[in-house]
Structure 1
Amino acid sequence: MTVPPQASRPGEPPAGCSRDALRSALDTLLEPARFKDYGPNGLQVEGRERVRHLVSGVTASRALIEAAIADGADAILVHHGLFWRGQSGCVTGWMKQRLALLLQHDISLFAYHLPLDAHPTLGNNAQLAQRLGLAPLPGGWGRFGDQDLGLLGVPPVDTAAALATHVQAVLGRPVTLLDTAQRPLRRVAWCSGGAQGYFEAAIAAGADAFLTGEISEPQAHYARECGVAYLACGHHATERYGAPAVAAAVALSLGLSHRFIDVDNPA
């Protein structure tokens, strides 16, 4: 990033930046134009022109928006925004409630989906790897799947059962493990969130185990028939780390205050 932070005197609120400067910094860092995605990336709801306090979270739920309002946010950065392909476009029910809060309090909402998964150091997959001790393979050898979102690497333990125990301790939630072959782990594939559709690509890439957030009916059969372990570790739990990492980096660059608010989700 090239925009220097503006200094504030001790005890004063952050000097902040313009909304457009924040948008430019996020777009420059995450490069949304590179991705074919399920909804719009970037500024989804326009709030006040001046931004001093940025709140980050996983999903633009009403609970997060209400917590951000209480925290004095000028802008919110999330992984899961409000608008997705296939929606009706009607502003009713939960959509009206969320939008009404943002508009009433003049808060901008920024949302980045696949770009926030993919960033090589601050994204969900990279941040998850840091916390779990997964060592990505170098260069193109460490990428697989659609739009190269999945990562391949070396695990910190040598069995799927040990990896499941380790992940459960780090993420603080139960892990669903399918491991009929119980073969030694040399290479692990992972992709945060609802990436169960990447399992076949992970198998083709030579993974001994695949770690993601969710599991659907077909993956149980693939795991048993192919002898590759499958770990479902929670959609929310595996995607808690990218948004605060990106927000903290941008806030430091632009002279903003930042707080991550984690709204618990068992999914």
Structure 2
Amino acid sequence: MLLRELEKYTGQLLQVDRYKDYAPNGVQVEGRAEVGRLLCGVTASEALIDVAIAWRADAIVVHHGYFWRNEDVRVVGAKRQRLAKLLAHDISLLAYHLPLDAHPELGNNAQLAQRLELVLEERLGEQQLLSVGRPATPCTVAELAERVALQLGRRPLVIGAPDQIVARVGWCTGGAQGYFQQALDAGCQLYITGEASESNCHMAVEYGAAFMAAGHHATERYGVQALGRHLAEQFELAWHYVELDNPI
């Protein structure tokens, strides 16, 4: 199919125009006009591009792309290396950030909830990035931490009483530790995200709540896989997801 048709369909699917994002959503680097082989990954690193070249991909779809707000605009260093390889091999790069976090079915938050057996009750915030709900079956903080470790393949950082019963939980994948206060205000006993900040520890202690950091990369592996699978089925594309582990 045509690259621009793929971009138009995905933009409408994810409703990209609804979001005030930190980087452009859609085609960030234009390669060949036709797309038959689609490679997906979390972040558009040079290692991912190398796999795309070897796999003969026409386009790459990622969650973390390029051209972030306030970054150095010069094409030097690692940015030059990445762009040079994409352009030399005529490979397109498409990136979807906040729209892929928030999509109610394909999004990172929705996909994480499926794996952790969390029932969504409401989405909060101007861009509805904070999900709030409950465990499908009653559980403690420690039991939910074990579920995270099993599903994500790594043990999360947990602050708070392990035997506390979780009746209400908030979650937002990636670097969303800033939503902890909003989750507390919504009555959550536990908040799950990817990363942690120093202040999260004090807040958890002072509010008598629990905070769980399960990894930025680890919590955001599933949205791009769901999107890639959907696009491949919709347009009969060959597709492949590449897991390049990142401990952060």
How would you bin the TM-score normalised by the shorter chain?
over 0.9
Residue 197 in structure 1 maps to residue 203 in structure 2: no
SS of equivalent to 1:73: coil
Instruction: Write the letter of the residue equivalent to 2:129.
Output: L
The answer to whether the aligner puts 1:111 opposite 2:91 as a matched pair is no
- The answer to whether structure 1 residue 150 and structure 2 residue 130 are counterparts is yes
* Structure 2 counterpart of 1:167, from 144, 148, 157: 148
Residue 31 (structure 1) aligns with = 15
**Distance in structure 2 (CA, Å) of the matches to 1:114 and 1:90:** 25
Output the amino acid matched with 1:147: Q
Report the equivalent of 1:246: 227
Q: Does 1:225 align with 2:206?
A: yes
| Identity across matched positions, percent | 52
Instruction: Decide which moves more: 18-27 or 112-121.
Output: 18-27
Q: Is the 8 A contact 1:43 1:110 kept in 2?
A: yes
Moved more, 243-252 or 212-221: 243-252
1:237 counterpart residue number: 218
Aligned twin of 1:73: 57
How big is each residue's C-alpha offset from its partner over 1:40-64, in whole Å with a ceiling of 9 and x where there is no partner?
Answer: 1111000000110001100000011
Structure 2 match to 1:60: 44
Report the TM-score when normalising by structure 1.
0.90
Specify which of 8, 14, 22 is matched with residue 6 of structure 2: 22
- Is the Cα–Cα contact under 8 Å of residues 189 and 210 in structure 1 kept in the other structure? yes
Query: Equivalents in 2 of 1:244, 1:165: separation in Å?
Result: 23
Give the 3-state SS of the residue equivalent to 1:50 in structure 2.
coil
Contact 1:157–1:163 (8 Å) recurs in 2: no
Contact kept in structure 2, 1:60 and 1:81, CA below 8 Å: yes
- Matched positions, count: 247
Please list, as runs of the form range in 1=range in 2, the aligned pairs for 1:111-150 lying within 5 A after superposition. 111-137=95-121, 142-150=122-130
Structure 1 unaligned segments of length 5 or more: list them.
Answer: 1-16
SS of the aligned residue for 2:39 comes to strand
Give the ranges of 4+ consecutive aligned residues of structure 1 lying more than 6 Å apart after TM superposition. none
Shift in Å at residue 183 of structure 1? 2.9
Q: What CA distance in whole angstroms lies between the structure 2 residues aligned with 1:54 and 1:209?
A: 37
Contact 2:167–2:189 (Cα < 8 Å) also in 1 = yes
User: Partner amino acid for 1:149?
Assistant: L
Equivalence for 1:83: 67
Report the alpha carbon displacement of residue 157 of structure 1 after superposing the two structures with TM. Answer: 4.4
What SS is found at the alignment partner of 1:47?
Answer: coil
Deviation at 1:145, TM superposition (A): 3.1
- Return the structure number with greater relative CO, CA threshold 8 A, min gap 6: 1
Three-state SS of the structure 2 residue aligned to 1:120 is: coil
**RMSD (Å), alpha carbons:** 1.1
Q: Report if aligned partners of 2:140, 2:162 keep a CA contact under 8 Å in 1.
A: no
TM-score normalised to the size of structure 2?
0.97
**In structure 2, what is the equivalent of residue 101 of structure 1?**
85
2:41–2:62 Cα contact (<8 Å) kept:
yes
Aligned counterparts of 1:182 and 1:172: Cα–Cα separation in 2: 22
8 Å CA contact retained: 1:50, 1:74: yes
Asked if structure 1 preserves the Cα contact closer than 8 Å seen for 2:145 and 2:156, the reply is yes
